[in-house]
Structure formats: structure tokens, C-alpha cells
Amino acid sequence: MPLRGKQLRVRFACHSASLTVRNLPQYVSNELLEEAFSVFGQVERAVVIVDDRGRPSGKGIVEFSGKPAARKALDRCSEGSFLLTTFPRPVTVEPMDQLDDEEGLPEKLVIKNQQFHKEREQPPRFAQPGSFEYEYAMRWKALIEMEKQQQDQVDLQWHDLGSLQLCLLGSSDSPASAS
């Protein structure tokens, strides 16, 4: 929209009382997430993030009507262990990253200091096999893959722990556990 010869862009403001919730148990719904966080104040919206097949990702977003409620939830969940189901893994809560995925970072807004010019000495390219640059980049890729595998292993162990807990809770009613 032009205004006095300049381009005017209108964007929606980020919700300042939004929190990201991680480590959500598998059976937490939008409604349970809202109910759980309403103890800290009025919740405008609570969403469990799902993948393209509708499976929960273990992450969610809670938007409060005001900053005090969001701050209270953040403080209480950081100090204590907030559990949403019988599974004993607490959720982690952090301020929601406000990302600009509409405009991004245009070249004209990049700070062009000495480090910028040094980083831009070479254009985008594939590293040549056998070069120092290639070996260094391959080590980075291996490190990233190792980190991903370790995260997958931790997630699997958490899942196994939850299954074990359900088995133990289920077997506590059996006659064998009474002995």
C-alpha cells in the first residue's frame, strides 16, 4: 500500500503472551492443554501441534489473554514440575519465538560490516571433495546427524519409560503384585 511515495507494509503483531510447551504426552488434546494452563489465567487459545498425518509432535502453543498470566505460567513451570497426565515427564515452557516467516531478511536490511564482507568473499557453492572445506563440512554434517540420532534415542527411551509406567500401573492391581 503506497503512502507518500513509500511502500507501507502491514503485518499482524505477534501475540506477546504466547508460550511454547514441549514434552507434551501423547494423549494431550487442545482442550486438555487449555484446561491445564487455565490455572495460570485466561487462555485465549491452546493448540497441540501435529504433523502432516495428524499425529501429535509433543509440542504446543498456549496464548494467554495477558502477559501476567503467561509470566506466571512460565515462572511456575520453570520452578516446579508441571505434569499434564499420569506420565511423570514434566512439560517445559518457554516464551514463544516470534518468527517472521512472511518477509524474511531482505538484503537491504543485512548489516554490512567487516565480518559480512569476509563471509561473502565466496559465492554459494558445493565444497570440492578432498578439500579442507569439504572435510570440515562433512564433519559438521556427521555432528548434526549424531545429534539427531541421540535426540531420537532419548525420545525412544522416554516412550519406553512411559510404556513401562503404564505396565507397572496396570499390574499394580494384579494378585501377583500383592505378594
Domain assignment present for 16: yes
User: How far is it, in rounded angstroms, from Cα 6 to Cα 49?
Assistant: 38
Q: Check which CATH number belongs to the domain holding 67 and give it.
A: 3.30.70.330
What digits encode the pLDDT tens for the residues 50-97? 988 888 999 999 999 999 999 999 999 999 999 998 888 889 999 988
pLDDT at res. 42: 97
Q: Indicate whether 117 and 151 sit together in one domain.
A: no
Q: How confident is the model at residue 179 (pLDDT cuts 50, 70, 90)?
A: very low
Q: How confident is the model at residue 10 (pLDDT cuts 50, 70, 90)?
A: low
| φ and ψ at residue 113, rounded to 5 degrees | -95, -170
| φ and ψ at residue 70, rounded to 5 degrees | -65, -40
Number of domains in the chain: 2
pLDDT at res. 173: 53
Cβ(172)–Cβ(165) below 8 Å = no
Residue the block writes with cell 518477509: 103
Domain assignment present for 4: no
Residues 6+ apart with CB under 8 A from 93: 19, 20, 21, 22, 73, 74, 77, 78, 82
108: three-class secondary structure by DSSP: helix
Domain assignment present for 38: yes
Q: Indicate whether 110 and 136 sit together in one domain.
A: no
User: How far is it, in rounded angstroms, from Cα 91 to Cα 113?
Assistant: 41
Q: Indicate whether 88 and 161 sit together in one domain.
A: no
Domain assignment present for 143: yes
In this structure, what C-alpha cell is assigned to residue 7?
511502500
Domain assignment present for 105: yes
Distances (CA, A) of 148 to 22, 80, 126, 144, 159: 17, 28, 23, 6, 16
pLDDT at res. 178: 47
Domain assignment present for 1: no
Q: Indicate whether 109 and 137 sit together in one domain.
A: no
Q: Indicate whether 142 and 113 sit together in one domain.
A: no
Range of the domain at 106: 9-121
Q: Mean pLDDT, to the nearest integer, of 102-112?
A: 77
pLDDT at res. 87: 80
What digits encode the pLDDT tens for the residues 127-173? 899 999 889 889 999 998 999 999 989 888 877 777 776 677 666 55
Q: Indicate whether 55 and 138 sit together in one domain.
A: no
Q: Indicate whether 25 and 75 sit together in one domain.
A: yes
Domain assignment present for 64: yes
Q: Indicate whether 116 and 160 sit together in one domain.
A: no
Q: Indicate whether 117 and 138 sit together in one domain.
A: no
Q: Indicate whether 117 and 156 sit together in one domain.
A: no
